[in-house]
Amino acid sequence: MLASSAATEAITVHLETQGDVVVLRHRVREHALELGFSLLDQTKIVTAASELGRNAITYGGGGEAMIESLHDGRRIGIALTVTDHGPGIADVEQAMRPGFTTGSGLGYGLSGTKRLVDEFEIQSQVGVGTTVRIARWR
């Protein structure tokens, strides 16, 4: 489990086409803006969302994303959970390595996303799918 606690107000975005990644980016930015994140933080969070959304579509054959607000008493945060029911990742450690790709990407999506956020959790099972949850605190 991530350290982050008590979430409220979840928004769900379906991910099927590349256009849905655009919708996801907009929703995430709106949410981050509402929560009072700085422009730089918004940029980081939206970029991370874009990476995960694109992966769910490209590699996971589509899925869905859930955006949540976090409040842990002291801090406000945003969380994003991207789930797909695609082929899963056999070797997660390898997939996380900067520069590793099985597609035509640069292989910086997962490792880079991890660097852009405060919390990063990936769960994947071959034949079942992949879930990545990220959170960033303000």
Partner 1 sequence: MDRVPINKVGDFLLVSLQGDIHDAVALALQEDLGNRIVSTRARLILLDISALQIVDSFIGRLIGDIAAIARLLDAEVIVAGMQPAVAITLVELGLDLKGIRTALSVESALAMAGIGARI
Ligand X SMILES: Nc1ncnc2c1ncn2[C@@H]1O[C@H](COP(=O)(O)OP(=O)(O)O)[C@@H](O)[C@H]1O
Positions in the binding site for a copy of itself (CB under 8 A) = 104, 114-115
For the chain, helix, strand, coil in percent to 5 are 35, 30, 35
Residue 62: contacted member of a copy of itself, ligand X, partner 1, none (CB under 5 to 8 Å, by partner type): none
Structure tokens at 18: 């590349």
By CB under 6 A, name the one of 35, 60, 80, 116 that touches ligand X: 60
What is the Cα–Cα distance from 20 to 109, expressed in whole angstroms?
Answer: 18
Alpha-carbon gap, residue 138 to 127, rounded angstroms: 36
Q: Which partner in partner 1, a copy of itself, ligand X, none is near 87 (CB below 5 to 8 A by kind)?
A: ligand X
Minimum CB distance to partner 1 smaller for 7 or for 109: 109
Residue 118 to residue 133: CA distance in whole angstroms: 11
Query: Under rule CB under 6 A, how many of the chain's residues touch ligand X?
Result: 22
The amino acid sitting at 30 is E
What minimum distance in Å lies between the beta carbon of 10 and a copy of itself? 27
Other residues' Cβ atoms within 10 Å of the Cβ of residue 11 = 15
Site for partner 1 in 84-113 (CB under 8 A): 98, 104-106, 108-109, 111-113
Residue 131 lies near ligand X (rule: CB under 6 A): no
Q: Which residue has the tokens 């933080």?
A: 41
Instruction: Report the interface residues with ligand X, using CB under 6 A.
Output: 51, 55-56, 59-60, 84, 86-87, 89, 95, 100-103, 105-111, 130
